[in-house]
């Protein structure tokens, strides 16, 4: 877990004022501690993504929530598909084959 200044030192492309703005906007949602916000690995990845979107791709602020929402939905769907694949894999072989066959029917 990193504090704000540690995040800025780790992700050198982000300024402290940008990080604080992104947190206020809810684009990054760090945990709160007695000393202020603390950022985990997922938060750091989100900060790096925001650097790519805002600085490298010049994405306007108005578009950021839409893009983040879509990316969050994609990650959620990937997680659900992984869980579904695990549930299918846990089934007996004949059930797995029936599911695969039903899935491949157009």
pLDDT tens per residue, range 6-47: 999 999 999 999 999 999 999 999 999 999 999 999 999 999
Report whether 2 contacts 41 (CB < 8 A): no
Both 77 and 54 in one domain: the answer is no
Domain that holds residue 25: 1-59
Whose tokens are 């994405």? That residue is 59
Both 7 and 43 in one domain: the answer is yes
Report whether 47 contacts 19 (CB < 8 A): yes
- Quote the tokens at residue 71: 């990316």
Residues 24, 67, 7: CA angle, nearest 5 degrees: 45
* Mean pLDDT value across residues 57-82: 96
Domains of the chain: total: 2
- Last residue within a domain, chosen from 21, 41, 59: 59
pLDDT digits (tens, 9 = 90+) for 71-105: 999 999 999 999 999 999 999 999 999 998 998 87
């Amino acid at each position: 877990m990193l504090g704000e200044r540690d995040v800025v030192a780790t992700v050198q492309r982000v300024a402290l004022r940008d990080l604080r703005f992104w947190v206020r906007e809810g684009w990054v949602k760090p945990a709160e501690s007695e000393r202020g916000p603390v950022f985990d690995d997922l938060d750091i990845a989100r900060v790096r993504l925001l650097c790519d979107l805002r600085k490298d791709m010049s994405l306007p602020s108005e578009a950021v929530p839409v893009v983040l929402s879509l990316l969050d939905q994609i990650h959620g769907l990937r997680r659900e598909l992984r869980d579904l694949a695990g549930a299918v894999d846990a089934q007996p072989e004949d059930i797995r084959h029936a599911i695969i066959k039903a899935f491949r029917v157009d």
